[in-house]
Structure 1
């Protein structure tokens, strides 16, 4: 059931709202899947740039990863706020594992799987401040947005109850 309490989003030529998709959901915001994809793709771009320029993850990855997580938290649908809170560690793990296996500077390939796993683990630990920053910011944004949605929902229910009571009291 569509929720018409949200402001109208972009319209197509016919004047109707654009159709929902898996990533963007409805006009109300990103789905949890869309938010996760935003974080992985943008963070992956930052990781690729850092791998090409510095042979390891550095500032470009950290800035883009935190920015993508914050953007996802701001744009996600209110019903998917819990999913976006657990998204940064998962996206971070996916990006660092992929970079650890694909980056030739991470090891010489003949060192073995054990050394590769140690290199990936050290990458995860060395860039934990980016993850922690993203988790704290996303949690704060989700808490504020969730509280605002809860207050708005309560006010909407209160006004509906008052209007229904007024209709019952009104003589027919």
Structure 2
């Protein structure tokens, strides 16, 4: 990776957008990378749109400019249309969707029905980590700045004292990883 990576993480309030952003930011910091983040909460407490900008590397502003993001992590399919203008040509999209939406030519697109998987394991709030695990496993060749092992280590450190939450979080992350490899 040259220069760094710019990501948009998008969803609605209550989906853990900020938690995923913090996990990725802490992982980048542990890798010795400078990190900047910024988020817009909107009506987050009422299920409104939440967007988080994450830059890992040498950047001078925390906001990702339109046409510059390397990737979009969309917790809701509807948010692809809202935020894909941030993507650079050839940027990747990993989305919580049952099918690949139309009109995304020129982008590397991966989808997983994370909502269904989260319900399957009895943890509807696990969509964010299922999607993150899926993204980490699918994008190993696309150039994410961190590995699955590094993210697992960050979750273990961050949730070390919270045994049940740590176990549930790692289970969700690993489920996404497993589905990416299937």
TM-score bracket, normalised by the shorter chain, equals: under 0.3
Q: Which has the larger radius of gyration?
A: 1
Relative to total residues, which structure has the larger helix share, 1 or 2? 1
Relative to total residues, which structure has the larger strand share, 1 or 2? 2
What is the TM-score normalised by the length of structure 1? 0.28
What is the TM-score normalised by the length of structure 2? 0.26
